[in-house]
Amino acid sequence: MIDVALASAIAASLAAVHSRLERAAARSGRDPSSIRLVAVSKTFGPDHVRAAFAAGQRDFGENRVQEGLTKAAEVADLPIAWHLVGHLQWNKVRKAVGPFAWIHSVDSPELLRRIDAIATERASRVPVLVQVDLAGEATKYGAPENVLDSIFEAASQCRFTAVTGLMLLPPYVEDPEAARPWFRRLRALRDEWRGRGVPEAWLAELSMGMSHDFEVAIEEGATIVRVGTAIFGSRRAVAA
């Protein structure tokens, strides 16, 4: 049973997110159906996931492997595509490959090879994105630009893992316009690597943009936006 008040609140926020997404797509002459909305449900329980699912949402994101697996098990009756949007620790790869339909956070050739070894063992296809650290922030995860070369090199030897694009989690800025240069830079980086002969399919997706700045990300070419707060409300403070 879905709580009626929760269901209608989430349906309303989801509708608002869809209309923001559609307006941003229209402004940039893009087809809104070419943009995948990932509902980031971290810290929220299965009731929230069910409510969003009932309102038509099918892609959900989690930033922690264990929390994601627990939640996915609680709503295992629903055909949901789970996205791992947070850092993937070495010792969690075995758990993550399979249950997560997408992994957004590949940041080293070693991690990519490990994901592929396990995906190959299970004969399970895994699309992954390469998380790029454009800001050079010591505290953030992501591959520095100069590591992309070795990641694409590793990608050419993958058997079951398909690199499908780039992901960005830029430094937080209040003003969405201030995030625009980061989004633009990720797209430019994508174009640069295409120019160097990396296959189109490896660079098809740009996962960028969150609740407060996803319209700007769409204007700059995002194909996947990861939205939590604008759908589910603000998160309670949780221990890290």
Give residues in contact with ligand PLP (CB under 6 A): 40, 42, 63, 85-86, 169, 210-211, 226-230
With CA atoms as reference, report the closest residue to 173 among 181, 163, 165.
181
**C-alpha span between 208 and 216 (Å, rounded):** 10
Instruction: Using alpha carbons only, give the angle 112, 214, 43 rounded to the nearest 5 degrees.
Output: 65
With respect to ligand PLP, which residue has the nearer C-beta, 13 or 108?
13
Q: In this chain, which residue has its C-beta nearest to ligand PLP?
A: 228
**C-alpha span between 39 and 172 (Å, rounded):** 19
With respect to ligand PLP, which residue has the nearer C-beta, 24 or 230?
230
Shortest separation between residue 235's beta carbon and ligand PLP, angstroms: 7
Shortest separation between residue 159's beta carbon and ligand PLP, angstroms: 27
Q: Which residues contact 1 (CB under 8 A, 6 or more apart)?
A: none
- Cβ–Cβ under 8 Å, residues 176 and 142: no
Token couple for 51: 């409510």
With respect to ligand PLP, which residue has the nearer C-beta, 81 or 201?
81
With respect to ligand PLP, which residue has the nearer C-beta, 108 or 211?
211
With CA atoms as reference, report the closest residue to 224 among 240, 204, 238.
204
With respect to ligand PLP, which residue has the nearer C-beta, 7 or 227?
227
Token couple for 238: 């949780």
- Give just the sign of the alpha carbon dihedral 215, 181, 41, 237: negative
Shortest separation between residue 199's beta carbon and ligand PLP, angstroms: 25
Shortest separation between residue 1's beta carbon and ligand PLP, angstroms: 27
Shortest separation between residue 126's beta carbon and ligand PLP, angstroms: 18
